[in-house]
Amino acid sequence: MQLKLTRWFTNSAGALLLGGVLAMFLANWAGAGLIQPQDPIFMISVRNLFWIMGAVALGVALICLFAKRMWLKAALVVWLAMNLCVYEIGLLQQENYHGWGVYLGSISHAFGISPGTAGLILKIGLFYLLVGGLLALLWLRREDARGYVRAICAGCGGHITFLPSALGRQISCPHCQAAMTLREPGNLKMACVLCGGRVEFPAHALGQKIPCPHCAKTITLLNPVDLNVNDSTLNPQPSTRTR
């Protein structure tokens, strides 16, 4: 459940950041003819600051939406939110600081809302990213402490985390929806369906066609559970064939 919530949060954070990036870029375009105030921290115009912040937020948003590592996505969201908090703390130290509304004039002009409303929306979004990101990191850390097992989908390479009690269960990959069996990472073993020779291969090679190392015939690397292979098949009786 927590993994689903964490995945939902990172996806929603990516969508929220994309919306913020779009708002900043549209504000820069709509406010091209307006006089822009100067940022007191970086000593550049707010217009240039929006371009820079938008580019950084866009990178984090794309990682949140398309990357597979949950830790990376949650950590980047927290990093971005904390940097914005530190930036606001710096603004509070300025004598002429009158709130975010002064710096969001181009956005309020572009969308027809008051600067105060624009500042409130920004603060709510920042709170959501910071608190949600910290909770996501906490959940991921607790899952590591509980001894979760991580597997790799043979079809898409996506990482899947599950409890040890789910080992051997047939599921649909949450990334590509392909059917798979939950197994510990490492090598799998199967018997060649043609000669009975033992074949060992990494889990990510499932589904690939290779020449059997014993009889040189082309075989497909399959999960032994899918083949209903028992121990006697995986360890065939000695024969005259050289192993």
Selected residue with higher pLDDT from 227 and 7: 7
Strand-pairing partners, residue 151, are 160
Please, which pLDDT band fits residue 233 given cuts at 50, 70 and 90? very low
Residue 136 lies in a domain: yes
Q: Are residues 18 and 94 in the same domain?
A: yes
List the structure tokens of 177.
Answer: 């929806």
Q: Are the CB atoms for 74 and 136 separated by under 8 Å?
A: yes
Q: Are residues 140 and 102 in the same domain?
A: yes
Tens digit of pLDDT for each residue in 52-89?
988 999 999 999 999 888 889 999 999 999 998 998 88
Q: Are residues 34 and 13 in the same domain?
A: yes
Q: Are residues 170 and 198 in the same domain?
A: no
Count Cβ atoms below 10 Å from residue 29 Cβ, excluding itself.
10
Please, which pLDDT band fits residue 108 given cuts at 50, 70 and 90? low
Tens digit of pLDDT for each residue in 155-193?
776 777 777 667 778 888 888 888 888 876 667 788 888
Q: Are residues 28 and 89 in the same domain?
A: yes
Q: Give 109's contacts (C-beta < 8 A, 6+ positions apart).
A: 27, 30, 31, 34
List the structure tokens of 121.
Answer: 């929306």
Q: Are residues 37 and 139 in the same domain?
A: yes
Count of domains observed in the chain:
3
Lowest mean pLDDT among 6-15, 67-76, 228-237: 228-237
Q: Are residues 194 and 176 in the same domain?
A: no
Q: Are residues 54 and 166 in the same domain?
A: no
Tokens 């830790």 found at: 71
Residue 56 lies in a domain: yes
Q: Are residues 50 and 135 in the same domain?
A: yes
H/E stretch holding 191 reads strand 187-191
- CA distance linking residue 55 with residue 92, whole number of Å: 24
Residue 169, domain extent: 149-181
Q: Are residues 42 and 77 in the same domain?
A: yes
Query: What percent of the chain lies above the pLDDT cut of 90?
Result: 21
- CA distance linking residue 105 with residue 116, whole number of Å: 9
